[in-house]
């Protein structure tokens, strides 16, 4: 849960945020209710069977915290290797999914909207 400690900053403890199912696995999402922050921050556990999807308006930036040695990211028809420390910015309209188990920090701009998840 997000906690306002002062007017100057917000604090989120991801261990207190409930995970929700998503096309990639399980996401914990912070700052959705903070009106003056233009995005959301997610910690997502990627399952082996992440679904290929895209967003029409959202830009997502994946930062890989942990992943299997052979983990990859599918971006449209391209497969790229990823490792801890890899960061990928994904523009609207780009079909994407992570392949292999991973834990990623995702910055979503504008705020995450579950109505903006699209599948072919």
Q: Which domains does the chain have, with CATH numbers?
A: 24-113 (2.60.120.10)
Q: What is the DSSP string of the chain?
A: -EEEEETTEEEE-GGGSPPEEETTEEEEEESTT-TT--SEEEEEEE-TTPPPBB-SS-EEEEEEEEE-TT-EEEETTEEEE--TT-EEEE-TT--EEEESSEEEEEEEES---GGG-B--
So what's the pLDDT on residue 65?
98
CA–CA dist 35, 33 (Å, integer) = 6
Over its length of 120 residues, how does the chain's per-residue pLDDT go in tens digits? Answer: 555 556 789 999 999 999 999 998 999 999 999 999 999 999 999 988 789 999 999 999 999 999 999 999 999 999 999 999 999 999 999 999 999 999 999 999 999 999 999 999
So what's the pLDDT on residue 47?
86
So what's the pLDDT on residue 112?
97
So what's the pLDDT on residue 17?
97
So what's the pLDDT on residue 4?
54
């Amino acid at each position: 849960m997000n906690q306002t400690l002062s007017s100057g900053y917000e604090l989120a403890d991801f261990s207190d945020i409930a995970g929700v199912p998503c096309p990639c696995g399980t996401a914990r999402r912070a700052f959705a209710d903070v009106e003056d922050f233009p995005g959301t921050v997610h910690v997502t556990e990627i399952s082996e069977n992440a679904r290929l999807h895209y967003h029409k308006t959202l830009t997502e930036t994946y930062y890989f915290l942990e992943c299997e040695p052979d983990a990859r990211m599918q971006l449209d028809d391209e497969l790229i290797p990823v490792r801890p420390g890899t960061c990928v910015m994904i523009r609207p309209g780009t079909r994407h999914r992570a392949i292999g188990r991973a834990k990623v920090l995702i910055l979503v701009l504008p705020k995450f909207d579950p109505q903006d998840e699209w599948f072919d």
